[in-house]
């Protein structure tokens, strides 16, 4: 069975400093992995996705993630945080054989001025 674990429920960074949001996955096959962002009272916006092509995936708004099979990780990074990055971030894996998603528990990113 597939699963994702987001290692931090809350992350605080200062504006202009790097962002690291951690996600580990469990899958018996090559997974499809996604990062979504949710701003308060809004739907989810796709940041980026990994679907067995390049292991370093670049997304929108300067975010990127690296798929590391040996570490079963798909951590989300950004070189320099902006105040507008403050939101909830979800790591997601697609289930095998279906198009259903399994969501991580989310990481709330706080950006300090």
Asked if 26 is part of the footprint of other proteins (rule: CB under 8 A), the reply reads: no
**Nearer to other proteins by C-beta: 17 or 61?**
61
Q: Minimum Å distance from CB 39 to other proteins?
A: 10
Tokens found for residue 42? 């809004």
Taking contact as CB under 8 A, which single stretch among the options 13-21, 23-31, 44-52, 62-70 is the one that binds other proteins? 44-52
- If the CB atoms of residues 51 and 80 are measured against other proteins, the closer one turns out to be 51
What binding mask, one character per residue, do residues 47-86 give for other proteins by CB under 8 A, x or -?
--x-x-----------------------------------
- Across 71-82, b (16+ Cβ under 10 Å) vs e yields eebbbbebeebe
Residue number, 51 or 84, with CB nearest to other proteins: 51
């Amino acid at each position: 069975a597939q699963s994702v674990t987001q290692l931090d429920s809350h992350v605080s960074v200062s504006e202009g400093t790097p962002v690291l949001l951690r996600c580990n996955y469990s899958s018996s096959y090559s997974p499809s992995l996604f990062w979504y962002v949710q701003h308060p009272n809004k739907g989810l916006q796709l940041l980026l996705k990994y679907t067995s092509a390049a292991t370093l995936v670049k997304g929108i708004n300067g975010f990127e993630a690296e798929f590391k099979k040996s570490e079963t990780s798909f951590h989300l990074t950004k070189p320099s945080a902006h105040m507008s990055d403050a939101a909830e971030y979800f790591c997601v894996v697609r289930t095998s054989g279906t198009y259903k998603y399994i969501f991580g528990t989310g990481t709330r990113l706080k950006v300090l001025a």
